[in-house]
Amino acid sequence: MDQSLAGKSIAILVSNGFEEAEMTEPQRALIKTGATLRTISTETGLVNGWHGKSWGHYFPVDKHLSEALGADFDMLLLPGGERSVAKLQQSAHTRRIVGHFLDAGKPIAAIDQGIQLLAIPGKLRGRLLAAPEAYRADLQAAGGKISEEPLVVDDITVSALGQDQLNEFVEAVVKLFTELGSVRKAA
């Protein structure tokens, strides 16, 4: 078993209504690399996913968003889900954590609505992103550049339009996180 991310800690930022597959598929793949994944949420105890057209499974929350520090994690995963992202956007703690990752140059993977959480003014600094039409103006106002491609890997950021790109997204996330994890481990 590949343990290329052993010792690395990855935060998964979600709230009730996150797209279950957009969390669980990357999570499964990253666990195989030896990474430690922690669920950070606005919820306490359990967070409820969204699966298809109805509520999905409950997942344990490792740390409440208000208590989490970006400095405690090496990488960040931002799954989509309209309900989840809407709730996360209301929290200054979300901006604090995402801003930390952007400022520190730590790897971030965002898919579908989760890409909206990157729209922190001045923080994107010309990063190239895949983005649904509805979020493009906010991301550009934050300093991002929008690609017409459905999946974009730009330096330390992976972004994908949605579940049609989920398999490719997971592959790109594992590849980028592994490459950056190995580089930082050797440094």
Q: What is the pLDDT of residues 143-184, one digit of tens each?
A: 999 999 999 999 899 999 999 999 999 999 999 999 987 655
pLDDT tens column, 22-37: 999 999 999 999 999 9
E strand map for 7-138:
9-14, 18-19, 36-41, 46-51, 54-60, 63-64, 75-78, 108-111, 128-130
Q: Is residue 150 part of a domain?
A: yes
Domain with 57 in it: 9-186
Answer whether 0.85 is exceeded by the pTM.
Answer: yes
- Domain-located, residue 1: no
Asked, for residue 60, whether it belongs to a domain, the answer is yes
Residue 96 belongs to some domain of the structure: yes
Domains in the chain, number = 1
